């Protein structure tokens, strides 16, 4: 019998296939004592396993490239964390086996994160994956992961670790469904980069029986269990229609009546550039520079190394617009040489621009590298600061840019509600705004973007979030300046129309989403987008806002 389930659609497309589950979790190692004379040998085994897992994660990252590489390199650093390894050594010294010491040390660290308010829930999932990989290697058992199959299938899991998601083969994994996660989790972001249909935060996903045929609609978040032939035909036809629309829509982003909406790409480094160019991106709306700083958690990269990497991206968009976000460290992206280790709640502490103002030498070096990278190029360079709270923050950043001799526009990210509420004040110091809707939703609703249980509050269709977007766009228009969106909200084609109607002047997203957004925008006039935006803001919930916008745009 056909049944319909609903989660959160995070990556466009339709997948129809049989369910295959991820391998079972690593069993807890037995708690047995070892003789004192075996301690050094067990400590050596633990270190060898840790180094092997870290090397494997780095190798996977090198193969995957782009955003996945940065995520996996961060996991490798986690595996080799000196404090964790010291704890493992201590546990072995008092009689634990290597595998038991690793299991218990990671469990203790996991508890510390949970007691910190679970802001780092996403890192907890990554921590569990690292632990499982090390323990599996020590036990000599296969690492749980993507199942072996000669036939294409739909992957179902409680959650997907970045190491698994990054190397999914789209020829075999038609789509995936997870019980945990949210629209801005690592798995969701990597799914969009791969172009694999995906639904997350689906309650009871693990109860889908192995081998059951399901249809996954990554746009609506619907899962059809044992779909009828008519339902499958309907979904396939809808997918074919979308594909045809994508092929027909080319050129710069614009509404049906010619209102220009530049479509830009989010990139994590040079490896992401080819996909952005192929998708017809008109530039880069968010260049995350963290990837360079993850190579060495103890030292900042040199000015020369930064210059070389930045220039590779700038050269790919001659006469295009490239918006660079300076280092966003702290919270779920800690760096040993920058971020304090004892903050009770890193999300609300020293992160983003706050970190750079405490360490001005790091900001000076980055700005100098950007200035050198742009020399002689016709690119329109823009540089923005993350986590700007008020005019004082904006002024401090603009002053630093001017002192570095940077020939570029200076901007501020709107990720904190205070920045949206006082956007006009902030625009007295900077030349543009860029809305990071992922963090803006997180801080507006006190809802961790990595926790599936609060995913409804991370939904960018929430009317309160749309109100903050509108406030920012209205302030920018009043000041004659631009206001873009670079959060994951821009990758939703229907929401892209609403954002345009709210007054947003550019949209930046993962490269795989650009054709979908371009094709959808081209179907509607600016006036239709404005009416859809007004209808969405008048709603009382994210679901109602989405439905209201659909009604307006469909002409019902």
Catalytic residues: 186, 486
Using CB atoms within 10 A of its CB, is residue 319 exposed (0-12), middle (13-18) or buried (19+)?
Answer: exposed
The number of helix segments (H) and strand segments (E) in the chain equals 23, 16
Quick one: which of 228, 203, 200 has its CA closest to 214?
Answer: 228
Is the distance from CB of 422 to CB of 473 less than 8 angstroms? Answer: no
Q: Are strands 482-485 and 506-509 parallel, antiparallel or unpaired?
A: parallel
Edge-first strand order for the sheet with 14-21 is 3-6, 222-225, 213-217, 14-21, 153-157, 173-178, 198-200, 8-11
DSSP letter string over 230-281? HHHHHHHHHHHHHHHHHHH--SS-B-TT--B--EEEEESSGGGHHHHHHTT-
CA distances from 227 to 1, 175, 234, 461 (A): 8, 16, 10, 28
CA distances from 188 to 19, 530, 543 (A): 19, 29, 20
Distance of CA 167 to the CA centre of its chain: 16
With vertex at residue 84, the alpha carbon angle to CA 78 and CA 90, rounded to the nearest 5 degrees, is 160
HSE on the CB side for 135, CA within 13 Å? Answer: 22
CA distances from 84 to 77, 134, 160, 345 (A): 11, 13, 23, 20
Token pair 């969701």 is found at 188
Tokens encoding 380: 């329109």
Helix axes 514-521, 493-502, angle to 10 degrees: 60
Q: Which helix (H) or strand (E) holds 374?
A: helix 360-374
Q: How far apart are the first and last CA of the chain?
A: 31
Distance of CA 230 to the CA centre of its chain: 35
Q: How far apart are CA 518 and CA 498, in angstroms?
A: 14
CA distances from 78 to 75, 82, 93, 253, 323 (A): 5, 9, 22, 40, 29
Q: Are strands 213-217 and 222-225 parallel, antiparallel or unpaired?
A: antiparallel
């Amino acid at each position: 019998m056909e049944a319909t389930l609903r989660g959160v659609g995070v990556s466009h497309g339709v997948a129809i296939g049989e369910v295959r589950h991820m391998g079972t979790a690593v069993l807890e190692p037995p708690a047995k004592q070892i003789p004192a004379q075996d301690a050094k040998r067990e400590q050596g085994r633990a270190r060898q396993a840790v180094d092997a897992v870290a090397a494997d994660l780095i190798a996977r990252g090198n193969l995957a490239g782009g955003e996945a590489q940065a995520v996996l390199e961060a996991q490798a650093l986690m595996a080799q964390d000196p404090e964790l390894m010291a704890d493992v050594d201590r546990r072995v010294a008092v009689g634990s086996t290597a595998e038991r010491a690793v299991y218990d040390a990671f469990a203790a660290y996991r508890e510390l994160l949970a007691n910190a308010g679970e802001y780092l829930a996403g890192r907890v999932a990554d921590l569990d994956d690292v632990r499982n990989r090390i323990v599996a290697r020590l036990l000599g058992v296969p690492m749980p992961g993507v199942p072996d199959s000669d036939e294409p299938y739909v992957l179902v899991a409680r959650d997907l670790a970045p190491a698994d998601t990054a190397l999914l083969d789209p020829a075999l994994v038609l789509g995936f469904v997870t019980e945990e996660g949210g629209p801005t989790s690592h798995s969701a972001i990597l799914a969009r980069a791969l172009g694999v249909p995906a639904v997350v935060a689906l309650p009871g996903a693990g109860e889908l029986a192995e081998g059951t045929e399901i249809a996954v609609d990554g746009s609506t978040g619907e899962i059809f269990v044992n779909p009828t032939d008519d339902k499958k035909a309907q979904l396939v036809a809808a997918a074919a229609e979308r594909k045809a629309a994508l092929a027909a829509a080319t050129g710069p982003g614009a509404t049906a009546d010619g209102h220009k909406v530049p479509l830009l790409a989010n990139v994590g480094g040079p490896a992401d550039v080819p996909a952005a160019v192929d998708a017809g991106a008109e530039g880069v709306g968010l260049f995350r520079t963290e990837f360079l700083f993850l190579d060495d958690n103890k030292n900042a990269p040199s000015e020369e190394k930064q210059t070389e990497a930045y220039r590779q991206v700038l050269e790919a968009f001659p006469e295009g617009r490239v918006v660079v976000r300076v280092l966003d460290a702290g919270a779920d992206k800690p760096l040993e040489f920058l971020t304090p280790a004892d903050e009770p709640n890193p999300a609300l502490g020293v992160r983003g621009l706050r970190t750079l103002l405490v360490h001005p030498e790091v900001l000076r070096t980055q700005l100098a590298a950007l200035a050198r990278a742009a020399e002689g190029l016709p690119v329109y360079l823009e540089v923005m600061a993350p986590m700007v709270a008020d005019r004082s923050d904006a002024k401090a950043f603009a002053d630093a840019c001017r002192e570095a001799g940077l020939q570029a526009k200076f901007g501020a990210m709107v990720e904190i509600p205070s920045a949206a509420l006082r956007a006009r004040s902030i625009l007295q110091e900077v030349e543009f705004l860029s809305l990071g809707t992922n963090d803006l939703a997180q801080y507006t609703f006190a809802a961790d973007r990595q926790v599936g249980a609060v995913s409804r509050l991370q939904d960018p269709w929430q009317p309160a979030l749309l109100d903050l977007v509108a406030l920012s766009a209205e302030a920018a228009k009043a000041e004659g300046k631009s206001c873009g969106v670079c959060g994951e909200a821009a990758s939703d084609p229907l929401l892209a129309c609403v954002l345009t109607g709210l007054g947003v002047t550019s949209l930046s997203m993962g490269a795989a989403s650009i054709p979908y957004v371009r094709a959808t925008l081209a179907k509607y006039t600016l006036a239709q987008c404005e009416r859809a935006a007004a209808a969405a803001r008048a709603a009382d919930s994210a679901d109602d806002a989405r439905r209201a916008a659909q009604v307006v745009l469909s002409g019902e």
